[in-house]
Amino acid sequence: MCLLVAASETVKTVDKRGLALLLPRGIDNFPDRKSRLSGTIDVWWVVHDGGMLILLAFLLKQHKVWRACRIRIFTVARILFAEFLLYIVYM
Protein backbone atom coordinates (compact mmCIF):
# COMPACT_ATOMS: atom_id res chain seq x y z
CA MET A 1 0.00 0.00 0.00
CA CYS A 2 2.93 2.33 0.65
CA LEU A 3 3.98 2.14 -3.00
CA LEU A 4 0.48 3.15 -4.10
CA VAL A 5 0.54 6.21 -1.83
CA ALA A 6 3.97 7.22 -3.14
CA ALA A 7 2.79 6.85 -6.75
CA SER A 8 -0.29 8.93 -5.98
CA GLU A 9 1.82 11.70 -4.44
CA THR A 10 4.13 11.64 -7.47
CA VAL A 11 1.21 12.07 -9.85
CA LYS A 12 -0.14 14.98 -7.76
CA THR A 13 3.27 16.70 -7.74
CA VAL A 14 3.70 16.27 -11.49
CA ASP A 15 0.24 17.69 -12.08
CA LYS A 16 0.85 20.70 -9.79
CA ARG A 17 4.08 21.55 -11.60
CA GLY A 18 2.57 21.09 -15.06
CA LEU A 19 5.05 18.37 -16.01
CA ALA A 20 4.71 15.21 -18.07
CA LEU A 21 4.92 11.75 -16.50
CA LEU A 22 6.17 8.56 -18.10
CA LEU A 23 5.00 5.27 -16.58
CA PRO A 24 6.85 2.37 -18.20
CA ARG A 25 5.24 -1.03 -17.87
CA GLY A 26 7.37 -4.14 -17.49
CA ILE A 27 10.62 -2.23 -16.98
CA ASP A 28 12.16 -5.32 -15.33
CA ASN A 29 11.90 -7.08 -18.69
CA PHE A 30 13.54 -4.34 -20.75
CA PRO A 31 15.06 -5.91 -23.90
CA ASP A 32 18.79 -6.08 -24.48
CA ARG A 33 20.45 -4.85 -27.69
CA LYS A 34 20.30 -8.28 -29.33
CA SER A 35 16.51 -8.56 -28.99
CA ARG A 36 14.10 -7.78 -31.83
CA LEU A 37 10.57 -6.83 -30.82
CA SER A 38 7.48 -6.84 -33.01
CA GLY A 39 4.59 -5.75 -30.78
CA THR A 40 3.12 -2.31 -30.25
CA ILE A 41 4.29 0.79 -28.44
CA ASP A 42 1.19 2.29 -26.81
CA VAL A 43 1.22 6.01 -26.06
CA TRP A 44 -1.47 7.69 -23.96
CA TRP A 45 -1.02 11.22 -25.22
CA VAL A 46 -2.06 14.17 -23.11
CA VAL A 47 -2.41 16.94 -25.66
CA HIS A 48 -0.85 19.65 -23.51
CA ASP A 49 2.44 17.75 -22.94
CA GLY A 50 3.93 19.14 -26.15
CA GLY A 51 4.19 15.75 -27.84
CA MET A 52 7.07 14.50 -25.69
CA LEU A 53 5.63 10.98 -25.36
CA ILE A 54 5.03 10.69 -29.10
CA LEU A 55 8.61 11.82 -29.68
CA LEU A 56 9.86 9.21 -27.21
CA ALA A 57 7.96 6.44 -29.00
CA PHE A 58 9.31 7.66 -32.36
CA LEU A 59 12.88 7.67 -31.04
CA LEU A 60 12.49 4.16 -29.62
CA LYS A 61 11.27 2.98 -33.02
CA GLN A 62 14.47 4.26 -34.64
CA HIS A 63 16.51 1.66 -32.72
CA LYS A 64 16.90 -1.80 -34.24
CA VAL A 65 15.34 -3.46 -31.18
CA TRP A 66 12.04 -1.58 -31.64
CA ARG A 67 12.07 -1.04 -35.43
CA ALA A 68 9.41 -3.68 -36.23
CA CYS A 69 6.99 -2.34 -33.61
CA ARG A 70 3.92 -0.27 -34.43
CA ILE A 71 3.05 2.88 -32.52
CA ARG A 72 -0.51 3.30 -31.26
CA ILE A 73 -1.57 6.68 -29.95
CA PHE A 74 -4.51 7.07 -27.58
CA THR A 75 -5.89 10.39 -26.39
CA VAL A 76 -8.94 11.73 -24.60
CA ALA A 77 -10.61 14.76 -26.13
CA ARG A 78 -13.46 16.87 -24.81
CA ILE A 79 -15.90 17.75 -27.58
CA LEU A 80 -19.26 19.39 -26.87
CA PHE A 81 -18.95 18.54 -23.16
CA ALA A 82 -18.73 14.80 -23.84
CA GLU A 83 -15.58 12.74 -23.55
CA PHE A 84 -14.54 10.49 -26.38
CA LEU A 85 -11.65 8.06 -26.55
CA LEU A 86 -9.86 8.58 -29.83
CA TYR A 87 -7.91 5.65 -31.16
CA ILE A 88 -5.31 6.46 -33.79
CA VAL A 89 -3.03 3.90 -35.39
CA TYR A 90 0.27 5.47 -36.32
CA MET A 91 3.02 3.77 -38.31
Residue span of the structural domain in which 80 resides: 36-91
How many independent structural domains does the chain possess?
Answer: 1
**Is the residue at 26 inside a domain?**
no
**Is the residue at 4 inside a domain?**
no
**Is the residue at 14 inside a domain?**
no
Question: Mean of the pLDDT values across residues 17-30?
Answer: 80
**Is the residue at 17 inside a domain?**
no
**Is the residue at 15 inside a domain?**
no
Cβ-Cβ contacts under 8 Å for 88 (sequence gap 6 or more):
72, 73, 74, 75
| C-alpha pair distances (Å), 84 with each of 51, 76, 87 | 20, 6, 10
Say whether pLDDT at 64 is over 50. yes
Say whether pLDDT at 82 is over 70. no
Tell if the pTM clears 0.85, that is, is over it: no
**Is the residue at 28 inside a domain?**
no
Better-scored residue on pLDDT, 74 or 67: 67
